[in-house]
A = this chain, B = another copy of it.
Amino acid sequence: MPPTLNDIARETNTSVSTVSRVLAGGTVSQRISTATRGRVLAAAKAMGYRPNLMARGLRTRQSKTIALLVSDIANPFFSQIGSLVEQSLHRHGYSLVLCNSGEDPAIEQQYLELLPQKGIDGMIVVPLVRTRKALYEHVPERMPLVILDRPIPGIAASVSSDEEQLTGLLCDTLGRALVRNVAIVAGPHHIVTHRRRAEIVGKCFHVVARHEGPAQRETGRQALLKFDALAPDQQPDAIVCTNNHLGQGVIDAMAQTEPSGILGGAGATRGTLPIIAVFDEIPMMHLLPVPIVCSMQDIPMLADACVRQLLPQLAGDTKTKIEPILLESRAVTNRAFQVRQKTQSAAPA
């Protein structure tokens, strides 16, 4: 029902190819007589012609569409990246299809197989799969691909944080705050990011307790309950959480168990609140009455790096050598953390 090249050709007494050439623009359309070009252009506008992108894609084998496959776009970390990637890709003429794996390998696999069938031109993936081999069982070898956040050995196009640097920074900050004993709340061990972070922290401090579970708030809550049951002399100076969701859960639970301490600043049942150390941002952390140190990744840079890794692959550019991008992070402390620092140095135990 919408007009096609054929319709325009008929209307202007030309042929499909002529119309196609005119509408293609650029050099090709230069080689058409000004007269017919004008006629075609006019007719196209008059009839409200819109190219059928599926037909074009079938022919040219590209859809001008990129897929972003993450664990959950509701996580602010990913939604911010998603938003930036979308905007950037849009400027380059690409659209973005969004896929949640929900940390479910089955769904990840479905998408990994579905997307190429859809004619996706490339993808940005936060993988569950852990090896190059497993990945390429579902994705065609030459699919332009960028691995985000969880590097896979042997895949060059990847963007992630330097976990050593990241975690080191966090440990340094804790160390300067005289932390000796920590409790760890970790996401699933099979995800590199969580595993690596927990490992490194374990080397820096004496670990009095640990709790592992899905990287969700609930896990953080349960962890705090477990830690609270520890003997008084076993209480951690800090609780390290391997991502933001876990941290939020811990903070939620702290607020429930000692509302007065949390809100009033005085009258806490605990001597001093343990420091919460997390990776990625805790929303509104600056105003939270809990000492927090947070290792923050530069999200705009992350998003930008993804696109920069992807574009040359899409262009079929083989001379641009692609190397994994490792981004540095910075440690940010909130006001409650800074206050604690001051009072502590004023009156050392």
Query: CB-CB contacts of A103-124 with B at 8 A, as 1s and 0s?
Result: 0000100000110111100000
Binds B, one of A9-17, A190-198, A202-210, A284-292: A284-292
| Size band of the interface chain A makes with B | 35 or more
Query: CB-CB contacts of A32-53 with B at 8 A, as 1s and 0s?
Result: 0000000000000000001111
Q: Within the complex, what minimum Cβ distance (angstroms) separates A338 from chain B?
A: 10
Partner of A73, one of B82, B264, B287, B290: B82
Binds B, one of A93-101, A154-162, A171-179, A222-230: A93-101
Residues of B within 8 A of A74 (CB): 76, 79-80, 82-84
A263-B289 in contact (CB<8A): yes
Q: Within the complex, what minimum Cβ distance (angstroms) separates A100 from chain B?
A: 5
A95-B76 in contact (CB<8A): no
The copy count of this chain in the complex is 2
Q: Is the interface of A mostly helix, strand, loop or mixed?
A: helix
Tell me whether A55 is interfacial, beta carbon within 8 Å.
yes
Partner of A98, one of B58, B82, B140: B82
A54-B63 in contact (CB<8A): yes
Residues of B within 8 A of A87 (CB): 100, 102
Question: Considering residues A50, A116, A284, which has the most beta carbons from chain B within 10 angstroms of its beta carbon?
Answer: A284
Q: Within the complex, what minimum Cβ distance (angstroms) separates A235 from chain B?
A: 21
Apart from A50-B116, A288-B288: 14 A-B pairs, beta carbons within 8 A: A54-B57, A54-B58, A72-B83, A74-B79, A74-B83, A74-B84, A86-B100, A95-B114, A95-B118, A255-B287, A262-B287, A263-B289, A263-B339, A287-B290
